[in-house]
Amino acid sequence: MGKLLVVLVAFALLVPPSPAAASAMPEAPNCPIYPTDDVWHSNVQLMPVHPMSATWIANMGGPTRLLHPDFGGPYGYQLQVTSNATPTTRLSFDYADESDNVPYPFTSSTPIEAGSDAHAFMLNKDTCVLYELFSASWNGGQPTAGSGAVFDLKSHSLRPAGWTSADAAGLPIWPGVLRYDEVARGLVDHAIRFTAQRTDRSYVWPARHQAGAARDPALPPMGARFRLSASFSFEGYSPQTQVVLMAMQRYGLILADNGSNFFFQGQVDPRWGDQLISELKRIPAGAFDAVDASSLMIDPNSGRVASGATQQALIPGWHSTWQQQSAYLVMTPGQVADFWICFSNSGTETWQRGVWGKQANLGLNGDDKLPYRLGMAADWLWDDRIATTTAATVAPGEIAEFRFKVRAPMDLGTYRLNLRPVIDGTVWMEDQGVFWLIVVR
């Protein structure tokens, strides 16, 4: 059995209690990897399938093509965390007219990706500014690069239209890189960057640049978004792999560069396990759909998206959409801890606390009573109902919070809470695969 508590969660928070913490890394905890209402963190699970979905996938190796995690062991992307004290230098760029000509915290010790792309990534933890280079070389103290791009991670600003970056799509690379710390903690709350061999000579928001093989709408454009099907079964996959699968369902993949079909990138970290890497190689491209995410755009020059349920038209009746869960904890046997979870009311009916048939409760999916029998209920409504909304009413489009306590079982082991909102006396709302996987030590 496992030796620590891992809390796995599902979707991205679109209206967070603390926007500055979105995807923050342990090495730079005060720096968001973009605000939580940015396109990188947008929930695309309910987005409509793009009419070119099947055609694009057919031209990206076909539905039997398997995903390839382009990281593990010594492979992947490596970020150098810098500060205001780090020396900076200016570089000579091959594509100077589309590069940010500013001093970069690029030094002789900055990691440079092996291979032809020679990417380099630097994050100033004091300013939360991300610097990315393509084809970087220290060149004996006279540094050069193919291109360079600078991103304020507290801002929604996109690059000028038509400009490249260290990626062909003109997007930042690091926000779409899979990191070990986020998989280990149980939450990947952003879209994942991936590549395709041949792309159209066009781009769609939020991309800013194209490097297409042909002007052909049968090829995917830069910026295209792909989502893992909600029907894809997680059965047989390890908990860490399920974290990645959930991110692919909720936030999807963003096409950002030319390269091998359905290769997606992660950071260099010796802790990546062989099981995770091998399991990710079992996922077929046919399990994905391209989605039309154009409704997320507010301003073509900004990555900010409409918040919460306003991104989707309300659905007649009783419906909910997952938003976020509380921080991840390590628990000891018998320990009681506070939890919270947020769902938006994506239906047209108002949730009313205290009114039977209209009160929204947080239920254990399938009326599962095992957690109650294991003593996990601390302040629950009853054996298979954990909590109701903190607000007296939750109107259509509003976000509801559920607060409750959980007592860790006395026996060491892995425990799972499968959660689903329900209007008791009326209907269960959507099963979105929301769960906490708990390992007690």
pLDDT block averages, 10 residues each, the chain of length 441: 31 32 83 93 89 98 97 92 98 97 97 93 98 97 97 97 97 97 84 98 98 96 96 86 89 97 96 95 98 94 74 76 75 93 90 97 95 96 96 88 94 91 95 82 90
In angstroms, the first-to-last Cα distance of the chain is 9
Cα separation, 29 vs 14, whole angstroms: 19
Which candidate, 114, 32, 127, 120, places its Cα nearest to that of 86?
Answer: 127
User: What pLDDT is recorded for position 222?
Assistant: 98
CB 121 within 8 A of CB 131: yes
Distance CA(401)–CA(362), nearest Å, equals: 10
How far is Cα 22 from Cα 251, in angstroms, rounded to an integer? 14
pLDDT at 327: 64
For residue 94, which amino acid is it? D
Q: Are β-strands 120-124 and 79-82 bridged in parallel, bridged antiparallel, or unpaired?
A: parallel
Element (H, E) at 245: helix 239-250
The reported pLDDT for the residue numbered 10 is 31
Q: List phi, psi (to 5°) of 318.
A: -100, 115
Give pLDDT, residue 9.
30
Where in 85-224 does DSSP place strands (E)? 92-93, 120-124, 129-134, 144-145, 147-152, 192-196
Tokens of 420: 């689903």
Q: Count other C-beta atoms under 10 Å from residue 294's C-beta.
A: 12
* pLDDT reported for residue 191: 96
Q: Which of 292, 382, 303, 394 is nearest to 352 (CA)?
A: 394
| Element (DSSP H or E) covering residue 290 | strand 288-291
Output the pLDDT for position 146. 97
DSSP character at residue 176: G
CA dist 136 and 173 (Å) reads 15
CA dihedral angle for residue 163, residue 168, residue 171, residue 176, rounded to 10 degrees: -170
DSSP string, 8-51: ---S--SS-S-GGGTT-BTTBTT--SS-TTBGGG---TTSPBPT
